[in-house]
A and B are shown apart, each in its own frame.
Chain A
Amino acid sequence: MPDPVLSANDVHKTYGKGDSLFTALGGISVDIKSGEKVAIIGKSGSGKSTLMHLLALLDKPTSGTIKIDDEDSSQLSGKALNTLRNHKFGFVFQQFFLNGNASVLENVLLPLKIGGSGFSERKQLALEALDLVDLGDKAKNKAKDLSGGQKQRVVIARALVNKPSVIFADEPTGNLDTATGEMIERLLFDLNAKQGITLIIVTHDSDLAARCDRQIYLKDGRIIENPVKRRQIV
């Protein structure tokens, strides 16, 4: 087995103080190996988004450690964290977060622009990423003129453009109809299979979760056993 690319060890996350203290995560330990498809599944308020934010190093745990490639993330400077996210991670969000008035190409090359690559290099990489999601011909269109499924494919292209090792997808099919959702799902699984990109999918859709290699069920900020399996046993 390859070493874990991401690993959380007894991670707690609390918000507020005193009476208003709210525990979002209460002692989570997970290892995510390179090339895995992992689903984080749970109802809203279960802490699944919080866990994803912690794994994606967008937030710091109250206690516990998050290791990336065996390195403690709390030891990394803000600048190192930014560079790491920029180079290693790709993000796919339910709400797309596209700049509607900018061209599709401009939207896709944003991570490269932030990372500071040159003009021609980022254009070429963005076009390659758009080809991978079959939208090469839409590069010059404005993002707002695309359909929902096309928008999500642009988002995936944007997540891919920096050749990340991990893609975080927060409800990637949540805003899409079933057929389009399945197409996006196939696209993500394809990338995982062909390019070995680790997939971490946050979802409440148990069908989508079931097609992943592994499921992490969260309830009230803790990992629980697969409720479906348990029912089968009973």
Chain B
Amino acid sequence: MKLIDIATTASSNMFRSKLRTFLTVIAIFIGSFTLTLTNGLGSGISSYIDREVGNFGAADALIIQAAGDSTGLPTDEVKKYDPTRRTTSIESEGNRTVTVLTDADLAKIRRLEGIKSAEAYQSAVIDYVSGTGSDKYVASIEPYLDGANYALDAGRQPKNSTDTLEILIPSTYLKFLGFKSAAVALGRPVTLGITNGLGQQSEVDATVVGVKQKSLAGGVTLNTNPALLAKLRTIHDIGLPPAATASFQVAVARFDASISDPQLVQLKDRLTKAGYKGTTIQDQIGTFKSVINGIVLVLNGFAVIALLAAGFGIINTLLMSVQERTKEIGLMKAMGMSAGRIFLLFSGEAVMLGFWGSLLGSIAAIGAGSVINQIVLQNYLKDLVGLQLLTFSVVSVASIMGIVMVVAFLAGTLPALRAARQSPIDSLRYE
């Protein structure tokens, strides 16, 4: 028998017991529907997180702190004073101490293999931000790290190589600063209020170059370019002792973004040996991502259980078919059909059941997914701009269908083997 004839015969055999086939397909349908949906949820959320990585900072940046300050949690541990380590303590958090870094540390870090550059990550505390004629609002600033790619409603990322004082504002501030829309804010000035070490307050004007979308990274941080930061730091440092201005808690080192993961681990090891702790943006988001992946894995587990149950449904259905068609199998064997072809006929039927179940299941899942996306994003999660809760790629849907068909084939092997091994004479005598 030709393969095409086996395929068409197997598929028409499916319809010989319509109700039974229907019920089996339903079982497979439920399994693949769930699997497609949970997979879509996983990939939707992880692609959102990947997109958010840009909002947290540059991918080739290592945030470096002195080792030993890892958790930042308040501690009861009483440490002996070490004159070589300089610490600052944050009063409100009691006993917590943070070891600071100096230019000497930067020089040491720069010498490490794999580090392209290292700079102090210094920020400044501002008192308020205001628009033209608007009230003053509390805000915090962070330097814009070259390479970070914030999701923007309008405008562009700040430029590092310019003397213009540029700033990114979050979209939450638009209406408070008197801007009707993100586009209107572009190129317009905002005023930052800052107090120096002598307690004198002064103001700095900066130009809005971009408006950040709402994101998981938070919505009250303004990002300055180096020129603006330098200006703010100059004011901030007035009246402070030189030792205070020359130290900082965090440094940012750059590495070659194309290095492999093991190489990155080695790089971090070298940092640890030198007495520092380096974390990448991926590390910071990694925890979050692994929680999401864990949840998706559990959901996928349920779907796989449903598929397994469906597999037993296939075995059952086909065993009954083999039983019913004993004589037919005998006849076909008498007419010269080989055992291999009989096997293919029945396992082909199993694969067809898997094909239809998974096809209908994934179509239904994609349909349900787009409805869920609509409802959820318009109601519960509308603040998360750019989130697609469920995304379906051709590759993932096709591979789920492939997996279901493999499961169906495996389930079909037992009945198919039984059919293939039947002796034609016994089958023909079978009453």
Binding site for B on A (CB under 8 A): 53, 56, 58-59, 78-79, 81-87, 91, 93, 95, 97, 99, 101-102, 110-111, 113-116
B334 to chain A: which residues have CB within 8 Å?
A: 56, 58, 85, 91
Q: Distance (Å) between the CB of B212 and the closest chain A CB? A: 65
Q: Which applies to chain B's interface (DSSP): helix, strand, loop or mixed? A: helix
Contacts of A113 in B (CB 8 A): 1-2, 5, 9
What's the dominant secondary structure at chain A's contact region? helix
A183 to chain B, nearest CB (A): 23
| 30 pairs, CB–CB < 8 Å, chain A vs chain B | A56-B334, A58-B333, A58-B334, A59-B423, A59-B425, A81-B336, A82-B336, A82-B337, A82-B338, A85-B334, A85-B335, A85-B336, A91-B335, A95-B327, A97-B327, A97-B330, A97-B331, A99-B328, A110-B331, A110-B332, A111-B336, A113-B1, A113-B2, A113-B5, A113-B9, A114-B1, A114-B335, A114-B337, A115-B336, A116-B5
Taking Cβ atoms with an 8 Å cutoff, the residues of B that contact A are 1-2, 5, 9, 12, 16, 327-328, 330-338, 341, 423-425, 428
Of chain B, the residue at the smallest CB distance from A56 is B334
What chain B residues lie within 8 Å of A102 (beta carbons)?
A: 12
Closest Cβ–Cβ distance, residue A102 to chain B (whole Å): 8
| Contact present for A58 and B424 (CB under 8 Å) | yes
List 4 extra interface pairs beyond A56-B334, A81-B336, A115-B1, CB under 8 A.
Answer: A82-B338, A85-B334, A110-B335, A115-B336
Q: How many angstroms between the C-alpha atoms of A85 and B428 in the bound complex?
A: 16
CB distance from B168 to the nearest CB of A (A): 69
Question: In the bound complex, do residue B335 and residue A58 qualify as a contact, i.e. CB atoms below 8 Å apart?
Answer: no
Closest to B423 in A: A59
Q: Which residues of A contact B330 (CB under 8 A)?
A: 97
**Nearest Cβ distance between residue A143 and chain B, in whole angstroms?**
12
Give chain B nearest CB distance to A59 CB in angstroms.
6
Residues in B with CB closer than 8 Å to A111 are 335-336
Q: How far is the CA of A72 from the CA of B330 in the complex (A)?
A: 24
User: Closest B-chain residue to A99, C-beta based?
Assistant: B328
Cα separation A115 to B5 with both chains bound (whole Å): 11
Given A82-B337, A113-B1, CB of A101 within 8 Å of CB of B328: no
> Considering the chains assembled together, what is the distance between the CA atoms of A58 and B9 in angstroms?
24
Q: How far is the CA of A87 from the CA of B336 in the complex (A)?
A: 8
**Which chain A positions have C-beta within 8 A of B424?**
58
A82, B424: Cα distance in complex, Å: 12
Chain B nearest CB, measured from A14 CB (Å): 15
Of chain B, the residue at the smallest CB distance from A85 is: B336
- Residue with the highest number of chain A CB atoms closer than 10 Å, among B16, B332, B333, B336: B336
Interface pair B328/A116, CB less than 8 Å apart: no
A87 contacts which chain B residues (CB < 8 A)?
336
CA distance A207 to B332 in the complex (A): 31
Closest to A83 in B: B336
Minimum C-beta distance from A77 to chain B (A): 11
CA A115 to CA B327, docked complex, whole Å = 19
CA distance A23 to B120 in the complex (A): 99
A114–B327 CB distance below 8 A = no
CB <8 Å contact, A53 and B425? yes
Instruction: Give Cα distance in the complex from A206 to B2, angstroms.
Output: 42
A114 and B332 contact, CB distance less than 8 A: yes
A84, B12: Cα distance in complex, Å: 28
CA distance A180 to B336 in the complex (A): 29
Residues of A within 8 A of B333 (CB): 58
Quick one: closest A residue to B325, CB to CB? Answer: A99
The interface residues of chain A lying within 8 Å CB-to-CB of B5 are 113, 116
Cross-chain contact B335 with A86 (CB below 8 angstroms): yes
List chain B residues, Cβ under 8 A from A59: 423, 425
- Bound-complex Cα distance A95 to B424 (A): 15
* Cβ contacts under 8 Å, A97 to chain B: 327-328, 330-331, 428
Q: 7 tightest CB-CB pairs across the interface, nearest first?
A: A86-B336, A82-B336, A85-B336, A114-B337, A97-B331, A111-B335, A114-B1
Check if B1 sits within 8 Å of A116, measured CB to CB. Answer: yes
Q: List, in ascending order, chain B residues with CB within 8 A of A81's CB.
A: 336
Interfacial chain A residues near B335, Cβ < 8 Å = 85-86, 91, 110-111, 114
Closest to B15 in A: A101
Q: Which residue of B lies closest to A159 (CB)?
A: B335
Q: What residues of A have a CB within 8 angstroms of the CB of B425 in the complex?
A: 53, 58-59
Please, how many angstroms separate the alpha-carbon atoms of A85 and B337 in the complex? 9
Please name the residue on chain B nearest to A52 by beta carbon: B425
Q: Are B331 and A91 in contact (CB under 8 A)?
A: yes
- Shortest CB–CB separation between residue B391 and chain A, in angstroms? 43
The answer to whether A93 touches B428, judged by C-beta atoms less than 8 angstroms apart, is yes
B330 nearest in chain A by CB position: A97
Chain A residues with CB under 8 Å of B16's CB are: 101
A53 and B330 CA atoms in complex are apart in Å by 12
| Docked pose: A135 CA to B341 CA in angstroms | 30
What is the CA–CA distance of A110 and B423 in the complex, to the nearest angstrom?
19
Residues of B within 8 A of A56 (CB): 334
Residues from chain B with a CB closer than 8 A to the CB of A53 are 425
Q: Closest CB-CB distance, B421 to chain A, in whole Å?
A: 13
Complex interface: chain A residues within 8 A of B428 (CB): 93, 97
Interchain nearest-CB distance for A103 vs B (Å): 11
Output the nearest chain A residue to B339 by Cβ-Cβ distance.
A78
- Taking CB as reference atom, which chain B residue is nearest A116? B2
Provide the residues of chain B in CB contact with A99, threshold 8 Å: 328
Chain B residues lying within 8 Å of A91, measured Cβ to Cβ, are 331, 334-335
CB of B2 within 8 A of CB of A78, answer: no
Task: Report yes or no: B336 in contact with A114, Cβ–Cβ below 8 A.
Answer: yes
Residue of B335, B341, B423 ringed by the most chain A CB atoms within 10 A = B335
Tell me how far the C-beta of A33 lies from the nearest C-beta in chain B, rounded to whole angstroms.
23
**A97-B430 Cα distance, complex, nearest whole Å:** 11
Residues of B contacting A86 in the complex (Cβ-Cβ under 8 angstroms): 335-337
Query: With A and B bound together, what is the CA distance between A95 and B331 in angstroms?
Result: 11
Interface centre among B12, B328, B333, B425 (most CB of A within 10 A): B425
User: How far is A120 from B336 in the complex, measured between Cα atoms in Å?
Assistant: 21
Query: Closest approach, in angstroms, between the C-beta of A177 and any C-beta of chain B?
Result: 22
Shortest distance from the beta carbon of B340 to any chain A beta carbon, whole Å: 9
Q: Please name all residues of chain A whose beta carbon is closer than 8 Å to the beta carbon of B337 when the two chains form the complex.
A: 82, 86, 114
